[in-house]
Chains A and B, each alone.
Chain A
Amino acid sequence: MTADANLFAQQKANRRRSAVLVTIFVLFFAWIGFGGDLAFYLYTLPVDDPDAPGRAEQAYRHVVPWFGIGATLLGLGMALIAWHRGPKQILWATGAWELINASKPEEKKLINVVEEMAIASGLPRPNIWIVPDKDPNAFATGTDEHHSHVAVTQGLLETLDRDELQGVVSHEMAHIQNHDVKLMTLLAALVGVMALISEGAWRVMRFGGYAGRRGGGGRSGGGGGRKGGAGALALIVLVVWLISVLIAPVVSRLLALAVSRKREFLADATGAQFTRNPGALASALRKIEDAAAPTRAIKRGTAHLCIADPLGRRVSHKQGFVADILATHPPMAVRVARLKRMAYQYERTGVLPEAL
């Protein structure tokens, strides 16, 4: 019991940390959406200056945040599409085929292992897919627990023994139980929207600048006549916002990666809770790492879903700031070390340790 209480406490802490990251992500998205509106709102505020020519006739005031609403709708739309089509698309892109009736012993073994883990986690059995690739890797995708998929490569089935396979499957099932598949599906959609907005905004600005020069800058002249206060504030907000839009694709991707790394540790811990055998996952990770050729079938967009970085980037070896923020996964050595520590303590005390 204490083992579970400890694990639950640790999972709660882990969850809180990624909740903070997700909140930052959403706030950043809101700023990208509504920051421009704020700048325009300040820019078009009425000025209490009776001498200013044409002030009274200034018809347009930017009160309704059209841009933000548009961005939100776009985000919702993309998320909805990702929700309905994303998982199938990912599986399709890897060339995976669904395992329904086992024809070979190792396929039967895989089905059995997945069903065992479904029992251990109390989740419904996910659909099982096999990716025809020699490199050992695995990923989970889906939306909710009733629509989830676990895919493993052919290479994984050939490389790992039963316990190790169980460890890997437990890790993937943990991703499903922790709602990671949902979270990552939605985050991927938001990252896409950010890129779209950023691209769109730059096009509009380039076009706008061109039109402005040709039109003799009539409107900007009016703005220039404004005195201090709101005008300067509007300018600052606008500049900050424009910079944000410029870096939005990078920032959003880095945030998504940070969330992904947090979820990997959590999934390792939850998986250990399912199997009560952290050592097997550790040795599976070792074998996967040793075989780390790029998993060709798995594309960049799916990397964060996999048990190990499929691009075979040796980034996962190095420790250091740049390597850390660019990786979808925490360094393999750290993951293995944490699992080994769990295994050691579990063996000695019969209690899975609290802190990872």
Chain B
Amino acid sequence: MLGTWIFLALVAIVIIWAISAYNTLISLKGQTLNAWKQIDVQLKRRHDLIPNLVEAVKGAMEFERETLEAVIQARNQAVNIQAGAMPTGGVKQLAEAEATLTAALSRFNLVVERYPELKATTNVGQLQEELTSTENRVAFARQLYNDMATTYNIKQQQFPWSLIAGLARAEQVELWEITEEKEREVPKVDLSFKPKQ
């Protein structure tokens, strides 16, 4: 009799644990996807902003066409890749495309700095603040996503949770890793542009 009760109690404990572990994984998955959506929103914002910015400076910067085209091209490529990217695949390619765009944009910003009258006469100053903010938003969304994704990845691998992971359809998600070389290109560009002035 007592044995039966103990057995039933154990079964109950296991079931309760399984339910709560399942819910934990599902909620982590939801949070990860939400963080990903946040990145998506901010990237879209970034991609929408760039044509406006280019349009605003085009007239004054006719002879900087290369820089402008590099930005536009990087932007279009990033838009294409973004359409197919999901946490479970394509994060790396998107991260690379966005890093290329970041590099192009910082080159662009340096060039804009050489035209002080642009900031004074047009809404370029305003657009640049928007751009700065957008860059930050992307960075912070990325940070939040990486934190969430790491927690999610580790949780579904850890021992008792890993038993439930299949049931909760938990999959490893890709982190948004900054491609070091691309981000480091920026200061080099800074140097190469200075002698031209």
Tell me which residues across on chain A come within 8 A of B126, comparing CB atoms: 105, 108
A119 engages B129 (CB within 8 Å): no
Given contacts A116-B137, A119-B141, A274-B140, contact A4 B147 (CB under 8 A): yes
Q: How far is the CB of B42 from chain A (nearest CB, A)?
A: 7
A116 engages B129 (CB within 8 Å): no
Query: Given A105-B129, A115-B133, list of 20 further CB < 8 A pairs?
Result: A1-B147, A1-B154, A105-B126, A108-B126, A109-B129, A112-B129, A112-B132, A113-B133, A115-B137, A116-B137, A119-B38, A119-B140, A119-B141, A119-B144, A120-B140, A120-B143, A120-B144, A162-B132, A166-B136, A276-B143
Q: Interface residues, chain B, CB within 8 Å of chain A? A: 35, 38, 42, 125-126, 129-130, 132-133, 136-137, 140-141, 143-144, 147, 150, 154
Q: How far is the CB of A118 from chain B (nearest CB, A)?
A: 9
> Can you show 10 pairs from A to B with CB atoms below 8 A apart?
A1-B154, A4-B147, A112-B133, A112-B136, A116-B140, A119-B137, A119-B141, A122-B35, A122-B144, A166-B136
- Smallest CB-CB separation from B175: which chain A residue? A1
Tell me which residues across on chain B come within 8 A of A108, comparing CB atoms: 126, 129
Q: Interface residues, chain A, CB within 8 Å of chain B? A: 1, 4, 105, 108-109, 112-113, 115-117, 119-120, 122, 162, 166, 274, 276
- Smallest CB-CB separation from A118: which chain B residue? B140
- Smallest CB-CB separation from A166: which chain B residue? B136
B42 engages A119 (CB within 8 Å): yes
Assembled-state Cα–Cα distance A119/B143 (Å): 9
Q: How far is the CB of B41 from chain A (nearest CB, A)?
A: 9
Tell me which residues across on chain A come within 8 A of B144, comparing CB atoms: 119-120, 122
Tell me which residues across on chain B come within 8 A of A1, comparing CB atoms: 147, 150, 154
Tell me which residues across on chain B come within 8 A of A115, comparing CB atoms: 133, 137
Assembled-state Cα–Cα distance A245/B143 (Å): 50
Assembled-state Cα–Cα distance A109/B132 (Å): 10
Assembled-state Cα–Cα distance A115/B129 (Å): 13
- Smallest CB-CB separation from A109: which chain B residue? B129
Assembled-state Cα–Cα distance A120/B132 (Å): 15
A116 engages B133 (CB within 8 Å): yes
Tell me which residues across on chain B come within 8 A of A276, comparing CB atoms: 143
Q: How far is the CB of A162 from chain B (nearest CB, A)?
A: 7
Q: How far is the CB of B152 from chain A (nearest CB, A)?
A: 12
Assembled-state Cα–Cα distance A263/B129 (Å): 32
Q: How far is the CB of A2 from chain B (nearest CB, A)?
A: 10
Tell me which residues across on chain A come within 8 A of B141, comparing CB atoms: 119
Assembled-state Cα–Cα distance A162/B144 (Å): 21
Assembled-state Cα–Cα distance A113/B38 (Å): 16
Assembled-state Cα–Cα distance A122/B132 (Å): 20
Q: How far is the CB of B28 from chain A (nearest CB, A)?
A: 13
Assembled-state Cα–Cα distance A68/B6 (Å): 44
Q: Which 6 A-B pairs have the closest CB atoms?
A: A112-B133, A120-B140, A119-B140, A116-B136, A1-B150, A119-B141
Tell me which residues across on chain B come within 8 A of A122, comparing CB atoms: 35, 144
Assembled-state Cα–Cα distance A4/B175 (Å): 15
Which of A109, A116, A274, A276 has the largest number of chain B CB atoms within 10 A?
A116
Q: How far is the CB of B44 from chain A (nearest CB, A)?
A: 14
Assembled-state Cα–Cα distance A120/B144 (Å): 6
Assembled-state Cα–Cα distance A324/B50 (Å): 51
Assembled-state Cα–Cα distance A117/B139 (Å): 11
Assembled-state Cα–Cα distance A1/B133 (Å): 25
Tell me which residues across on chain B come within 8 A of A113, comparing CB atoms: 133
Q: How far is the CB of B62 from chain A (nearest CB, A)?
A: 27
Assembled-state Cα–Cα distance A117/B141 (Å): 10
